[in-house]
Amino acid sequence: MNRELLLLVALAASLFLVVLCGIAYGAISYPLSQVFKVLVYALVGGESTPEGLGIIVGLRLPRVLMGMLAGAALAGAGACLQGLFRNPLADPGLVGVSGGAAVGAAFAIIIGPVVMPLIYAEYSLYVLPLFAFTGALSVTMMLYGFSRMGGQVVVAYMLLTGIAINAMASVLIGLMVYLSDDGQLRDFTFWSMGSLASITWPAVKVVSLPIVVCLVLMIGLIRPLNLFQLGEQGARHLGLNIGLLKKVVVVLVAISVGACVALTGAIGFVGLVVPHLIRLMVGTDHQYVIPGALLLGPLVIVLADLIARIWVAPGELPLGLVTGAIGAPFFLWLLLQQQKRASL
């Protein structure tokens, strides 16, 4: 077994352990033996109801599952964007995709109940993911369109477009926040800091199918993204449909990011840090980069959520603060490394 496969096995084993800890520990902690007993009871039943069934199955299990889905979606989207733009700075947050999803979510939270009260009251669980997806897709299309020059995607234009989109998103969100009432303001402020606290089984069921489908299709992009690293001309000569690849990546990023951000809120830097860490460990081969990102992303989110729950127990830190505290220093380090390479 080569080094890359050993790394993937180690990540899978670490994710399994972190998931168990995420289910077992919190304001009220349970031994792992009790967790296994509860999970077995939930699957096959039993004579007596074990202690902690409501907390473990009703609260923590959907929370951990959503953390896994969100981590895989954000990290997978980041890996695909970095492969498409051939640049480690590409990230759903930095290039504005998360900002577009946030605008859609803010519209659903603040404007939705006013302009479509009947629809919102009947389908409120579906309205937020739908608007977040629409915002993410719109921004992704704008990003791709404004980043092209002479038929090529220009990284500098991509980052500048992302900055402009984030600025416009901030203005729109600020306007909607200004128009909101106290309840809506609290809801959006809590959402914008990122959290898994309000995740329930119905919410997981709503977003699990589109996210899982996107993750499976991302794995199918391994060979096309590897060919794309040769450049557009080289990949086209090898039979790759460049236009189709770009459209597929755009749609997958929009669906996966929009679906998870709608429920978890803004969780920064996961799409940037995780794929780049995997690249530092296994190189640029997407055969290992994408599976590695899909394993490390959930590990980071579930671990960060566990830290957020136990650090100030029985209170809880916003998840976005924990991931930002990890991701921001790494992003600065990445910029310094690129400066050093440019100066050589």
- Please tell me the predicted confidence (pLDDT) of residue 151: 63
Is a pLDDT exceeding 70 seen at residue 1?
Answer: no
DSSP string, 134-172: HHHHHHHHHHHHHTEETTEE-HHHHHHHHHHHHHHHHHH
Residue 289 contacts residue 117 (beta carbons within 8 Å):
no
Is a pLDDT exceeding 70 seen at residue 83?
Answer: yes
Please give the residue that has the higher pLDDT: either 206 or 337. 206
Q: Is the dihedral of CA 271, 272, 278, 283 positive or negative?
A: positive
CB atoms within 10 A of CB 277: 16
DSSP string, 114-144: HH-HHHHHHHHHHHHHHHHHHHHHHHHHHHH
Residues 6 or more apart whose Cβ sits within 8 Å of residue 35: 20, 23, 24, 52, 56
Is a pLDDT exceeding 80 seen at residue 344?
Answer: no
| Strand, helix or coil for residue 199 | coil
Please give the residue that has the higher pLDDT: either 130 or 175. 175
What average pLDDT does the segment 3-16 reach? 93
- pLDDT per residue as tens digits for the range 266-300: 887 898 889 988 988 888 899 999 999 999 999 99
Mean pLDDT of the chain: 85
Q: How far apart are CA 109 and CA 132, in angstroms?
A: 11
Superfamily name and number for 3-343: ABC transporter involved in vitamin B12 uptake, BtuC (1.10.3470.10)
- Please tell me the predicted confidence (pLDDT) of residue 236: 86
Is a pLDDT exceeding 80 seen at residue 159?
Answer: no
CB atoms within 10 A of CB 115: 9
Both tokens of residue 218?
A: 């991302």
Q: How far apart are CA 87 and CA 96, in angstroms?
A: 16
Total number of residues shown for the chain: 344
Where do the structural domains in the chain lie, given as residue ranges? 3-343
Is a pLDDT exceeding 80 seen at residue 118?
Answer: no
Q: SS3 breakdown of the chain: % helix, strand, coil, rounded to 5?
A: 80, 0, 20
Quick one: pLDDT band at residue 91, thresholds 50, 70, 90? confident
- pLDDT per residue as tens digits for the range 217-259: 999 999 999 999 888 788 888 888 887 888 888 888 888 888 8
**Does the reported pTM lie above 0.85?**
yes
136-160 burial, b at 16+ Cβ within 10 Å, e below that, comes to bbbbbebbbebbeeeeebeeeebbe
